[in-house]
């Protein structure tokens, strides 16, 4: 199947990490590609771990892990052969790094941990892999083959509950099982857990091993059961390309939503041509940002869409959704399109959505998009006098004080920085050739709308699929390893940073050029804005009092606190700081107002009292 190509080794990744003097081998990102090939000269596999390692060397680009007695044999077999391996400091970090490495375009990633607590520590990012449909192979030891010990947990029951595909490597099938894990991950477009029983990790291979066989067609990793969802979630009658072409050519205001499927299928050029043929406007998903290079793109659809573009999106009479999930955030709880719009979803699988989908075309975008383009070119022109582009003349203003009062201010009423101003200035001051990783949290609502990236792989939002925080530092580390040629911008909130500091050292170690930006509102901001208004006690939601600019000091990493607009000027302190430290790693601690509410939260609770981006309540001043 063509989809399998997405999980074959695509390049040689050279990612020597940043090394501080005195760091030992366990601190290093191993990279010995220049010394010898991954497989040439390696001894024939003798054990289960050797066999799995041999397949990894052939089919993956990088391994992220935390060693323990359940996986040390595997990791040793990889590093001794010169395969690139990055040591994380927490198992959640290892899996997150593999996720971010994949999203950032680094190639095929593997994560590995030991059994028991090593496995349970990895469950949150493993769940993110499932929900975000990221094809990572996670190799982890399991209970002994003769049964569990008191220290063991039922890892198979847990993976079954998460909906993860499981493959088990044994002395008789180790090579075949490892090959199957990679193939299934590629074809299902989701994670696969490769278990090795604890007593098998160093066991010799059987004399007569099972042959490697093709598993055949594999269903999508997260193809949901329609029996487990309300019927309304799967609305839309199955149709054909001719009918969709008639809809599109007859539309007066066609809109194309290009999702991650367009990126993975390599159909961007045809999608652009289709939009030009129709005079359509474009929006994209967050993971497909800039996949269509058009002056008629409105940006990211859903909660990240600028206020000035929302009416335009709602005005579309036919919406063509190509390889996008249309989840609640992307669709603003199903309200992003107008109530009379015809919504046509083209994807390889039917997925539930709150949007009132009218038509579905199920299949491979590599086949369907060219067919749609040809069919639209063959259809007679509609009776409209002008295309939507010609009617508009130009795109509307993205944001203005009239549409969103206060959005252009530098500071909020409390005198602290307005996060929208902060993000605009960071966009201008940071190197353009960059990878931007963003942790979960309230501040996330301002990052994609204001901080641009070069291509779809430049925006990495690990954690958003399950709405978690605390994975940002590890995600930034994985992105740094994936794209050492780019400047890494790791954005985290104050709460997420405090949660994820286990891999702070990892980020400093593996990042050649980059900055950790900690956006500090002194609280778990999302909780404050949602629940203080309901009368809940604010005290457990508050943080404050941390000088994040000093967190790099033990590692020799400089930091700067930013709390005044002048520091963000073109020739201000931030620009000078980045110029001085731009060839290494640094920390920006940016203190923002807690009084500004992100658009996605305003939508969740029906808008704030003033109708703008300012909190209806007046929180206590942040601790300094």
Question: What CATH number did the domain enclosing 6 receive?
Answer: 3.40.50.970
Assigned domain for 414 exists: no
Assigned domain for 588 exists: yes
pLDDT score for 212: 87
Beta-carbon count within 10 A of 115 CB = 26
Assigned domain for 620 exists: no
pLDDT tens digits for range 368-388: 999 999 999 988 666 667 999
Taking the C-alpha atoms of residue 446 and residue 425, their distance in angstroms, rounded to an integer, is 12
177: nearest Cα among 70, 48, 6: 48
**Do 376 and 442 fall into the same domain?**
no
**Do 336 and 451 fall into the same domain?**
no
**Do 280 and 351 fall into the same domain?**
yes
Assigned domain for 293 exists: yes
- For residue 72, give its domain range: 2-200
Assigned domain for 158 exists: yes
Assigned domain for 323 exists: yes
Q: Structure pTM?
A: 0.89
State both tokens at 121.
């520590």
Residue after which a domain boundary falls, among 362, 381, 400? 381
pLDDT score for 234: 78
**Do 375 and 430 fall into the same domain?**
no
CATH for 353: 3.40.50.1220
**Do 181 and 239 fall into the same domain?**
no
Q: Name the domain count of the chain.
A: 3
**Do 290 and 166 fall into the same domain?**
no
Sheet holding 434-438, edge to edge: 459-460, 434-438, 487-493, 514-520, 585-591, 559-562
**Do 313 and 433 fall into the same domain?**
no
**Do 167 and 293 fall into the same domain?**
no
In contact, 33 and 514? CB cutoff 8 Å: no
**Do 367 and 435 fall into the same domain?**
no
pLDDT tens digits for range 230-279: 666 778 889 999 999 999 999 999 999 999 999 999 999 999 999 999 99
User: What is the DSSP pairing of strand 137-142 with strand 109-113?
Assistant: parallel
**Do 239 and 196 fall into the same domain?**
no
Of all residues in the chain, the percent with pLDDT exceeding 70 is 87
Over 60: is that where the pLDDT of 564 sits?
yes
Residue after which a domain boundary falls, among 174, 200, 226? 200
Of all residues in the chain, the percent with pLDDT exceeding 90 is 79
**Do 173 and 27 fall into the same domain?**
yes
Taking the C-alpha atoms of residue 49 and residue 54, their distance in angstroms, rounded to an integer, is 9
What are the counts of helices (DSSP H) followed by strands (DSSP E) for the chain? 21, 20
**Do 448 and 588 fall into the same domain?**
yes
pLDDT tens digits for range 39-80: 556 678 999 999 999 999 999 999 999 999 999 999 999 999
pLDDT tens digits for range 411-455: 999 999 999 999 999 999 999 999 999 999 999 999 999 999 999
Query: Minimum mean pLDDT among 85-89, 322-326, 603-607: which range?
Result: 603-607
């Amino acid at each position: 199947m063509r989809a399998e190509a997405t999980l074959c080794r695509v390049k040689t990744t050279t990612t020597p990490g940043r090394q501080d003097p005195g760091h030992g081998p366990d601190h290093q990102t191993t990279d010995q590609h220049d010394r010898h090939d991954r497989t040439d000269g390696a001894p024939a596999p003798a054990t289960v771990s050797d066999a799995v390692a041999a397949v990894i060397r052939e089919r993956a680009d990088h391994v992220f892990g935390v060693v323990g007695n359940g996986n040390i044999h595997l990791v040793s077999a990889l590093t001794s052969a010169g395969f690139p391996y990055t040591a994380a400091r927490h198992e959640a970090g290892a899996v997150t790094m593999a996720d971010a490495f994949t999203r950032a375009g680094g190639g095929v990633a593997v994560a590995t941990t030991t059994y028991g607590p090593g496995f349970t520590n990895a469950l949150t990012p493993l769940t993110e892999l499932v929900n975000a449909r990221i094809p990572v192979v996670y190799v982890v030891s399991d209970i002994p083959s003769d049964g569990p010990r008191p220290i063991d947990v039922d890892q198979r029951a847990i993976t079954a509950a998460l909906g993860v595909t499981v493959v088990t490597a044994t002395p008789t099938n180790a090579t075949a099982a490892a090959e199957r894990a990679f193939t299934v991950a590629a074809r299902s477009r989701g994670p696969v857990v490769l278990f090795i029983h604890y007593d098998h990790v160093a066991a010799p291979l059987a004399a007569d091993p099972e042959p490697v066989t093709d598993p055949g067609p594999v269903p999508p990793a997260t193809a949901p059961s329609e029996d487990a969802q309300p019927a309304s979630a799967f609305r839309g009658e199955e149709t054909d390309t001719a009918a969709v072409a008639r809809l599109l050519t007859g539309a007066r205001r066609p809109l194309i939503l290009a999702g991650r499927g367009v990126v993975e299928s390599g159909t961007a050029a045809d999608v652009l041509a289709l939009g030009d043929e129709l005079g359509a406007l474009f929006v994209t998903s967050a993971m497909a940002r800039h996949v269509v290079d058009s002056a008629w793109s409105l940006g990211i659809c859903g909660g990240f869409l600028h206020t000035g573009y929302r009416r335009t999106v709602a005005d579309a009479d036919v919406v063509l959704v190509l390889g996008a999930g249309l989840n609640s955030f992307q669709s603003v709880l199903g309200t992003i399109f107008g109530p009379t719009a015809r919504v046509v979803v083209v994807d390889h699988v039917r997925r539930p959505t709150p949007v009132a989908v009218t038509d579905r075309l199920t299949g491979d975008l590599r086949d369907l998009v060219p067919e749609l383009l040809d069919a639209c070119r063959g259809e007679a022109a509609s009776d409209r006098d002008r295309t939507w582009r010609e009617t508009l003349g130009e795109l509307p203003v993205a944001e203005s004080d009239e549409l969103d009062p206060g959005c252009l201010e530098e500071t909020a009423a409390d005198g602290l920085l307005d996060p929208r101003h902060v993000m605009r200035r960071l966009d201008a001051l940071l190197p353009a050739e960059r990878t931007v990783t963003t942790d979960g949290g309230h501040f996330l609502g301002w990052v994609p709308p204001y901080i641009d990236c070069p291509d779809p792989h430049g925006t990495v939002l690990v954690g958003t699929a399950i709405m978690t925080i605390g994975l940002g530092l590890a995600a930034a580390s994985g992105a740094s390893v994936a794209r050492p040629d780019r400047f890494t911008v790791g954005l985290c909130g104050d709460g997420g940073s405090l949660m994820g500091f286990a891999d702070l050292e990892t980020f400093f170690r593996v990042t050649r050029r980059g900055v950790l930006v900690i956006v500090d509102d002194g609280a778990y901001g999302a909780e404050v804005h949602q629940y203080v208004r309901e009368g809940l006690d604010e005290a457990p939601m508050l943080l404050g009092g941390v000088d994040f600019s000093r967190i790099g000091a033990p590692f020799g990493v400089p930091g700067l606190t930013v709390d005044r607009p002048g520091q963000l000027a073109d020739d201000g302190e931030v620009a000078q700081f980045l110029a001085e430290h731009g060839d290494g790693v640094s920390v920006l601690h940016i203190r923002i107002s807690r009084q500004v509410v992100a658009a996605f939260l305003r939508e969740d609770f029906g808008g704030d009292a003033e109708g703008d981006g300012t909190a209806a309540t007046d929180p206590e001043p942040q601790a300094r």
